[in-house]
Structure 1
């Protein structure tokens, strides 16, 4: 009995394993192969064939034109005319050329809003040099946030749309500020030139500090004349003092006059002595 029970258990296990293999090979494997088969490139053109790329957002439009095969290759046309960042534009064009859709399925047009395609995050339009135009509409993220829902309007059928699962990198490729779309080196050079042109010279309108000091020194009255006036007053005082001395000088001059008056007296004495000898002779 024990051997029969063991054999029965093994038989049941083999049947279960065979059923699982049958289900896997018959249903799961074909679906995986079909999913791999649906993974295909988004577009069939090359980057050199692109003439221009336009990104339509809710309130902004970015337009870039390929002007050369050498750097800088791209130039912004909207919202302003300037040299574009080749790295930023190349990131987007590489996704358009080399990007693949992970899966493709068809749904009615009425279900576009379920995938965010009625109000898309962005619409990318690519114009080729042969005048062909290709568009890619980018919707919202899928349920696990790994891919974006996308649509190619040129593949629409009556009442049906083809929904694509495109790389999530498209979200970063189209949502950039203006500073990242522009060539930074070119922008810095133009800004320096504009600053040098707009700034007026400092000499006529903004005089230097030395000129202000000179102007102040010219407006302020000189202190030297006041000092000279003081010296003049002192000199006038000094001139007045000699006058006083001059007034005193006559007094000193009067004294010689007195001496002059006294001198005849001294002269009279010799005359007396002269008369004495004559008198002596007369007496003789």
Structure 2
């Protein structure tokens, strides 16, 4: 009876401390993303509600790391306080041994371990996936703001783009360089004198394309270099019909999807390594 009361008492101390630790660590990790999130508001003109959604999805993806950290925080803080207040000595004086005193920490560890497994395998990948889709959706609303003048901008709809001059209001670009490595065996480099990002609203969402003028396409395959000159060339950046079905990144895959992906025939060594990690 005494052991049960003690276990309930210590668990009652640890559980609130655990949740407090989760909140504190989430705030700390979000602080490191503050500059990135502020950039979305000031440069991309994203609404505050969308930034709150992004913070929620980011927090979900952090949970597999935060749960073990918060558990350690709760155990150290709780047992440290019990020791400082001589409560552990009091427990032992009434005949309770160390196994009984340690039992609450073990019980909470098992519960948090099970929760962490479910979070790692399902909840965190879902949060990461939703974050990716939301960022792409926000980027489709003002795609020109993604490109920074005289800077190689990565993550421009899975491409690397460079432009000497950028007009974010009209979407006009000057002296454009685009590198597309969506097919690693056959990367494509496009160089153009000027370009313009064209947006179009459809029933399914925003579509975007990059119209390049007066340039050339360079391909390298099996040691051969091919050059194609063009006067006008359209690059499809975003198709809303395909958006929900775009390939997931490894952090967005559930454990079942990871196993299925790793069984894919012809999977390259670097791709398999990224999935295993």
TM-score range, shorter chain: under 0.3
User: Taking structure 1 as the reference length, what is the TM-score of the superposition?
Assistant: 0.26
For the pair shown, the structure with the greater C-alpha radius of gyration is 1
